[in-house]
Structure 1
């Protein structure tokens, strides 16, 4: 599969996300990193975070709350950016648990732009490893 120039690539886990764009021309894959998003720790707020569905289940630990809230916030950002036409194509790479939290929260506009999902944790991987995974 060729990855179009300008494709947004998000590499996430339960606590962070690295954001890339394919800047390669004529079907060549060349990633440029734009930033990194970090999970906000809600433990100092006494578990007042948003939780996976906007509320906090009683049996959820602080780390689980942080992970689910981060996945929710990431999905909301992807939704917002798609609705504002900030990207045409998306590839989402995340560990299976995080991907499971994100997937049901994605707007139809995001789903239509989604070229590929990879259910594996690449957040601490090198740029070369990420590019190899995308090329596979």
Structure 2
């Protein structure tokens, strides 16, 4: 499985090809409700935690809550043995937030983490970016 995540999107792909020549096929993802708004308050830099514009602060909390919801769902899938191998592709900020929420079972399934923004790309574009 390939999980592509950013602050607003979550895409999931399954390899329908062979390991040496992957062909990514999109998999339906659940409609996740971001509920863990405390996730966004983990910033260590107090200045970045309280931007001048309250809309920026709300947006950052929404993004962190979305990423936490995705990671919670992935944790559940791993703990229920619905996936045994996972490649996580996420923008660096989202990937950092995800790591805070990984369960040990999910960590054991992760083959690779890629700090790139590839959401919205086609399967062949994703494979090409991973090979580059």
Q: TM-score, normalised by structure 1?
A: 0.77
Alignment of 1:109-124 (within 5 A): 109-124=105-120
Match of 1:14 in 2: 7
Structure 1 spans left out of the alignment, 5+ residues: 1-7, 43-48
**Residue 50 in structure 1 maps to residue 16 in structure 2:** no
**Could you tell me whether the CA contact under 8 Å between 2:87 and 2:110 is conserved in 1?**
yes
Whether the 8 Å contact between 1:24 and 1:30 is mirrored in structure 2 is yes
User: For residues 69 and 102 of structure 1, do their structure 2 counterparts lie closer, same or farther at Cα, with a shift above 3 Å needed?
Assistant: same
Q: Does 1:104 align with 2:97?
A: no
Q: Which has the higher contact order (CA 8 A, sep 6+)?
A: 2
Deviation at residue 26 of structure 1 after TM alignment: 5.8
CA displacement, residues 18-42 of structure 1 (integer Å, 9 cap, x when unaligned) = 11001113642010001356775x8
1:35 alignment partner, one of 16, 22, 28: 28
Q: Which has the higher helix share?
A: 2
Q: Write the distance in 2 (CA, Å) between the matches of 1:111 and 1:68.
A: 19
3-state secondary structure, aligned to 2:84: coil
Alignment RMSD: 2.7
Tell me which residue corresponds to 1:127. Answer: 123
Q: Give yes or no for contact 1:10–1:19 (8 Å, CA) kept in 2.
A: yes
Higher share of residues assigned strand: 1
> After the TM superposition, which parts of structure 1 deviate over 3 Å for at least 4 consecutive aligned residues?
36-40, 52-60
Which residue of 66, 69, 75 maps to 1:70? 66
Query: Please, what TM-score do these two structures have when normalized by structure 2?
Result: 0.79
What is the number of residues matched between the two proteins?
122
